């Protein structure tokens, strides 16, 4: 009689091995961190004397579930923002909140919260991508979990690295410190092609080669990302990843929702592991990954939860459930994704996807003892049929919930027994999580109140105080010639002039005290006759006006930022009460008139039918006296141009049209 550490007996053992072996009244013998035997309960109790025996009557024993894509510290951001486009969600909420709140303590607390949830739900291995990844590794190790921990790198400044070189250094130190750990695989994770560069991928690949670790990245998550990649990088994100060498090392690619047929052939040929995230892909409306094409092409396919802010939980049972249903609904074929295949995505196939099939993913002698005991006696998952080998898969996939997991064992160590966590203190974790969340809540509440804070959250801004004296008058197109001729002769001196097309979108609010935001796309004809667009975002606070006979003096605080996103992005992010678009062709003439500089615009409004043409005269001013002086000069200019007082308009286009 051999003495062993642990014997699990009287269970339905679902091995997920290549023969699909299932044992009724089966048992699993564990010694150290290894499975040393799988057989009938009678055979193993006769053979082994176990230090610890767990009776699994009425339960299934399956391999621990593998979450192939997650951002576990983000459990602290669960529920922060939902029902938004990916870019608004990411650039408008996640990045600004992360820039401010992500610290080692945040990462540690969020990871512990996620580990507790995952152990409770039968997940024994996860693949992560985040910042301060050494804290993820440390917390996962303390919890007793198995993890691939990817230190994120990108070209933008991140919470733990002000530039890519610093991120690369962090990743190198992290991998060097952890690469011999038995359960934690440290690595580097270039975030995605659209946030990285060729060089970032190349250096990440070098690091992975040096330490023999897999590369983690996001690829082809949305259709827009693929379209933009074709324009910017002349390849799909997957084609690009191959070009920059990402597939020359074992790669774990999250999502791949929009993989083309050619992409799928590449993924299969290069042995890339893919990790679609059904809930996240649905919630962010990214789409449904081509699960069947992946499997038919032999792509190593797993499943992930993605970050809890886009999911919002880390429940692999619900991911398996969706992966079983979605292909059926899309194909109209109920045989498309059998329950057994769906379950394999989080076990045997998932282990291949994360390049650890030699160690985990199925119950087999010599493999790591990562296993879960699932109760089959609850109201919602009873009764159990045994006449067909496949019946157990139906029960696991279509009726079992995360809360049916009774015991969780990783590397032979019991982390949950009878639903009690043995390595983590749930109350302390919850208390810490609530404290951090309340700080984030206050930050977001304040930000939502002030437009300036909302702009600041997404871009650097330039503030200026504008004092301007200006007037506008409607003119006939036939006047243009005469006006230009007058400006071209004494007493005017033309200093410079240019021509541009301006597309202005104004976002306004019912509460006028909020100010107004203008998104301007400015096409100015340059020296080569081209019209490259410039995009700016300008917040103007409510204007103070002083009226003169011939002009109006405006003073206002103005904040300008470069605009990198689309109009749709800003509209969804700022949520204005109304949007007005004004397009105009502008001839701008800078003149000196009696030693004073004026900008004279001849504008044709093209967005409003019959809005017509205008001449606008403007000058910067600094003082009341200067303004009075310039208002008088503007009166003189108007007279020289032959524009009568009754044609003057003192409102801005956006208020007038
Ligand atoms: Zn992700």
Instruction: Report yes or no: 583 and 504 within 8 Å, Cβ to Cβ.
Output: yes
Instruction: Say how far apart CA 607 and CA 652 lie, in whole Å.
Output: 15
Ligand 1 centre to CA of 277 (Å) is 8
Ligand 1 centre to CA of 327 (Å) is 22
Ligand 1 centre to CA of 69 (Å) is 6
> Which residues are near ligand 1, the ion (C-beta closer than 5 Å)?
254, 306
Ligand 1 centre to CA of 177 (Å) is 25
State the pLDDT at residue 164. Answer: 85
Express each pLDDT in 484-501 by its tens digit.
999 999 899 999 998 889
State the pLDDT at residue 114. Answer: 98
User: Which residue(s) pair with 372 in the sheet?
Assistant: 62, 408
SS3 490: coil
Predicted confidence band of residue 612 (pLDDT cuts 50, 70, 90): confident
Give the strand order in the sheet containing 300-301.
215-219, 251-255, 273-275, 300-301
Ligand 1 centre to CA of 70 (Å) is 6
What mean pLDDT do residues 569-582 have? 89
Ligand 1 centre to CA of 319 (Å) is 15
Ligand 1 centre to CA of 606 (Å) is 43
Ligand 1 centre to CA of 575 (Å) is 26
Instruction: Say how far apart CA 303 and CA 349 lie, in whole Å.
Output: 9
Domains plus CATH for the chain?
1-64+361-418 (2.30.40.10), 65-360+419-444 (3.20.20.140), 460-656 (2.40.320.10)
- pLDDT, the chain, mean: 92
In the chain, % of residues over pLDDT 90: 68
State the pLDDT at residue 157. Answer: 80
Express each pLDDT in 252-309 by its tens digit.
999 999 999 999 999 999 999 999 999 999 998 899 999 999 999 999 999 999 987 6
Ligand 1 centre to CA of 310 (Å) is 9
Ligand 1 centre to CA of 17 (Å) is 29
Start-to-end CA distance of the chain, whole Å, equals 93
State the pLDDT at residue 522. Answer: 84
Which letter, b or e, does each residue of 198-209 get, where b requires 16 or more Cβ atoms within 10 Å of its Cβ?
Answer: eebbebbbebbe
Non-local CB neighbours of 32 within 8 Å, separated by 6+ positions: 5, 412
| Block residue for tokens 């014997």 | 7
Q: How far is CA 500 from the centre of its chain?
A: 36
Predicted confidence band of residue 651 (pLDDT cuts 50, 70, 90): confident
Ligand 1 centre to CA of 54 (Å) is 37
Ligand 1 centre to CA of 648 (Å) is 56
Express each pLDDT in 427-471 by its tens digit.
999 999 999 999 999 988 887 777 777 777 777 777 777 788 889
Ligand 1 centre to CA of 74 (Å) is 10
Ligand 1 centre to CA of 237 (Å) is 15
Quick one: angle between helices 426-449 and 104-120, nearest 10? Answer: 120
- 122 — alpha (psi -120 to 50), left (phi > 0) or beta? left
State the pLDDT at residue 8. Answer: 98
Ligand 1 centre to CA of 537 (Å) is 29
What one-character DSSP code corresponds to residue 257? T
Ligand 1 centre to CA of 306 (Å) is 5
Predicted confidence band of residue 364 (pLDDT cuts 50, 70, 90): very high
> Which of 21-30, 97-106, 376-385, 565-574 has maximum average pLDDT?
21-30
Q: How far is CA 161 from CA 94, 303, 592, in A?
A: 16, 29, 50
Instruction: Say how far apart CA 293 and CA 336 lie, in whole Å.
Output: 11
Ligand 1 centre to CA of 282 (Å) is 13
Neighbours of 123 (CB within 10 A): 31
Query: Six-digit token pair at 372?
Result: 């879960």
Ligand 1 centre to CA of 635 (Å) is 61
State the pLDDT at residue 311. Answer: 81
Express each pLDDT in 505-520 by its tens digit.
999 988 888 788 899 9
Predicted confidence band of residue 426 (pLDDT cuts 50, 70, 90): very high
In the chain, % of residues over pLDDT 70: 100
Longest Cα–Cα distance in the chain = 113
Query: Six-digit token pair at 48?
Result: 């082994």
């Amino acid at each position: 009689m051999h003495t062993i550490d642990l014997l699990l007996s009287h269970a339905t053992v679902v091995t997920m091995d290549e023969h699909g072996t299932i044992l009724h009244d089966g048992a699993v013998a564990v010694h150290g961190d290894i499975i040393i035997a799988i057989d009938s309960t009678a055979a193993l109790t006769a053979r082994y004397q176990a230090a610890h025996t767990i009776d699994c009557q009425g339960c299934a024993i399956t391999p621990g579930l593998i979450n192939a894509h997650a951002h576990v510290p983000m459990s602290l951001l669960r529920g922060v923002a939902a029902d938004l486009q990916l870019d608004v969600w990411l650039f408008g909420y996640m990045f600004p909140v992360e820039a401010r709140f992500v610290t080692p303590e945040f990462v540690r607390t969020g990871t512990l919260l996620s580990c507790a949830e995952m152990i409770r739900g039968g997940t024994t291995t996860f693949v992560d991508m985040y910042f301060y990844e050494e804290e993820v590794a440390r917390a996962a190790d303390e919890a007793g979990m198995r993890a691939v921990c990817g230190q994120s790198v990108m070209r933008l400044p991140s919470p733990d690295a002000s530039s890519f070189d610093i991120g690369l250094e962090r990743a190198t130190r992290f991998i060097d410190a952890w690469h011999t750990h038995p359960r934690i695989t440290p690595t580097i994770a270039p975030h995605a092609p659209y946030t990285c560069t060729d060089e970032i991928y190349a250096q990440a690949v070098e690091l992975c080669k040096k330490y023999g670790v897999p590369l983690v990245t996001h690829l082809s998550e949305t259709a827009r990302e693929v379209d933009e990649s074709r324009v910017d990088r002349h390849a799909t994100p997957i084609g690009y990843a191959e070009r920059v060498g990402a597939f020359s090392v074992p790669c774990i690619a999250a999502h791949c929702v929009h993989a083309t047929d050619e992409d799928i052939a590449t993924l299969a040929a290069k042995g890339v592991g893919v990790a679609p995230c059904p809930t996240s892909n649905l919630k962010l409306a990214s789409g449904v990954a081509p699960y069947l094409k992946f499997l038919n092409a032999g792509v190593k396919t797993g499943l992930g939860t993605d970050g809890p802010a886009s999911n919002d939980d880390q429940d692999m049972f619900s991911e398996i459930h969706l992966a079983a249903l979605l292909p059926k609904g899309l194909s109209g074929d109920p045989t498309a994704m059998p329950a057994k295949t769906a379950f394999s995505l989080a076990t045997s196939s998932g282990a291949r996807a994360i390049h650890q099939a030699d160690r985990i993913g199925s119950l087999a002698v010599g493999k790591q003892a990562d296993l879960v005991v699932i109760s089959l006696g609850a109201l919602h998952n009873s009764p159990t049929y045994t006449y067909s080998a496949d019946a157990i898969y139906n029960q696991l996939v279509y009726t079992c919930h995360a809360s049916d997991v009774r015991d969780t064992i990783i590397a032979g160590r019991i982390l949950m027994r009878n639903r009690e966590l043995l390595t983590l203190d749930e109350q302390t974790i919850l208390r810490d999580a609530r404290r951090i969340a309340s700080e984030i809540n206050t930050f977001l509440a304040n930000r939502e109140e002030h437009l300036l804070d909302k702009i600041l959250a997404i871009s650097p801004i330039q503030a200026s105080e504008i004092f301007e004296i200006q007037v506008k008058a409607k003119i006939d197109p036939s006047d243009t010639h005469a006006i230009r001729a007058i400006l071209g002769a004494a007493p005017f001196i033309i200093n410079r002039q240019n021509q541009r097309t301006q597309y202005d979108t104004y976002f306004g609010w019912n509460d006028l005290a909020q100010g107004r935001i203008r998104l301007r796309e400015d096409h100015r004809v340059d020296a080569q006759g081209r019209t490259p667009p410039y995009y700016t975002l300008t917040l103007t606070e409510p204007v103070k006006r002083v009226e003169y006979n011939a002009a109006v003096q405006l003073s206002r605080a103005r904040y300008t930022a470069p605009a990198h996103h689309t109009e749709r992005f800003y509209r969804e992010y700022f949520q204005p009460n109304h949007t007005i678009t004004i397009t105009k062709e502008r001839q701008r003439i800078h003149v000196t008139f009696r030693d004073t500089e004026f900008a004279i615009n001849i504008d044709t409004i093209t967005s409003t039918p019959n809005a017509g043409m205008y001449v606008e005269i403007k000058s910067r001013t600094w003082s009341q006296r200067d303004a009075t002086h310039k208002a008088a000069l503007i009166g003189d200019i108007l007279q020289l141009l032959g524009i009568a007082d009754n044609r003057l308009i003192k409102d801005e286009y956006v208020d007038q049209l």
